[in-house]
A and B are shown apart, each in its own frame.
Chain A
Amino acid sequence: MVISCEHVWEEISNYLEGEVDPELRATMEAHFRECKHCTAVLDGTKNVIALYGDERSLELPAGFTAGWQSRLAQRAPGPRVSEADATLRRGLVGRAGDR
């Protein structure tokens, strides 16, 4: 079975998801062995997924956890949100019941 570059590009995402049938997979792999352009697209797409999939690529903003915990502390009087934010809560005790 012969496959065009355009068809390979259409399926490249499904290929990386492991969602193409064995016959198409084999055909695509044969195509990659012959076609530099499609191999470049495959490698580059893999790199995109690997880079963005790395936790370091997009981190939680600094202060995110403390932010919602202090908002919760202000809204919901009661037990501490966590032991870790005990220091934070100490500063909010006076306002803990306020809405």
Chain B
Amino acid sequence: MMAVEKPPDTGEEREHSLIARIRGGQSSLFAELIKPYERRVYITALALLRNEADAQEVAQEAILKAFTHLQQFRGESRFSTWLIQITVNEARMRQRKQHANLFEPLADARDENAQEADYSPRDFADWREIPSEALEKSEFRMILAKALASLGQKYREVFLLRDVEHMSIEETARALRISVASVKTRLLRARLMLRDILAPAFADGWFGRTPFGKGSKPW
């Protein structure tokens, strides 16, 4: 006879209960456990790998690894932290295989200098309006994706985890195994660079502009 389960009153308790049941053989519950984190896993993989197809494959592999190794999850960290760490490891392995990071060292010791933070905005276009409804348009999303892709890897990965996936600064630092100071510095630069790229295009209002033509944008 199983012990009487008290109704889970927090997300974390519910998650622990799910994990225990999956470990106990109810593997059909794994999809429920993963559901809230699917996007986060994918975006983490995408942060580290520029290629969407690679990111998708690595993210799926990470989810499968989490299933296979669920017995090893000790509950010392949050499940999401553990899952993201698996994803980062998978993505790093893929990077090493592809030698994609040959010229971008993973260690950030050299980034600690002030030069990293020393970025001045290039443009002061007055971009006050947030064209939120524009996000419904794939053309607009493409512009955001291209702007993001134009950032250097170390800026892109920090920005994706912090500002797209809403991880905390500390979680981002842990996931990428870099210092909190480096996260802050890179985040500042990533945000300012994206603003520099996007502000001139959006300053007059996206819908008010003539259609984007190739060659008319900074990317």
Q: Identify which of A6, A50, A65 contacts B132 (C-beta below 8 A).
A: A50
Any A CB within 8 A of the CB of B212: no
Instruction: Tell me which residues across on chain A come within 8 A of B38, comparing CB atoms.
Output: 60, 64-65
In whole angstroms, what is the CA distance A61 to B166 when docked? 19
- The segment from A26-34, A51-59, A91-99 that touches chain B is A51-59
Q: Whose C-beta in chain A lies nearest to the C-beta of B186?
A: A13
Task: Tell me whether B60 and A57 are in contact (CB under 8 A).
Answer: no
Instruction: Tell me which residues across on chain A come within 8 A of B117, comparing CB atoms.
Output: 10
Q: How far is the CB of A89 from chain B (nearest CB, A)?
A: 10
Task: Tell me whether A40 and B126 are in contact (CB under 8 A).
Answer: yes
Interface size, B (range): 35 or more
Q: Whose C-beta in chain A lies nearest to the C-beta of B133?
A: A56
Chain A 41-75, CB within 8 Å of chain B: the 1/0 string?
Answer: 10111111111111111111100110111011001
Given A54-B132, A56-B136, A57-B144, does the pair A44, B195 have CB atoms closer than 8 Å? yes
Instruction: Tell me which residues across on chain A come within 8 A of B99, comparing CB atoms.
Output: none
Task: Tell me whether B126 and A82 are in contact (CB under 8 A).
Answer: no
Any A CB within 8 A of the CB of B119: yes
Task: Tell me whether B124 and A61 are in contact (CB under 8 A).
Answer: no
Q: Whose C-beta in chain B lies nearest to the C-beta of A80?
A: B28
In whole angstroms, what is the CA distance A60 to B30 when docked? 19
Any B CB within 8 A of the CB of A79: yes
Additional pairs, 13, CB under 8 Å, beyond known A57-B135, A60-B38, A82-B30: A10-B117, A41-B192, A44-B127, A47-B127, A47-B129, A47-B202, A51-B130, A54-B132, A64-B56, A65-B31, A68-B64, A82-B32, A85-B31
Interface residues of B (CB under 8 A from A): 25-28, 30-32, 38-39, 42-43, 46, 52, 56, 59-60, 63-64, 67-68, 117, 119-121, 124-130, 132, 135-136, 141, 144-145, 148, 159, 163-164, 166, 169, 184, 187-188, 191-192, 194-195, 198-199, 202
Interface residues of A (CB under 8 A from B): 6, 9-10, 12-14, 16-17, 19, 36-37, 40-41, 43-61, 64-65, 67-69, 71-72, 75-76, 78-85
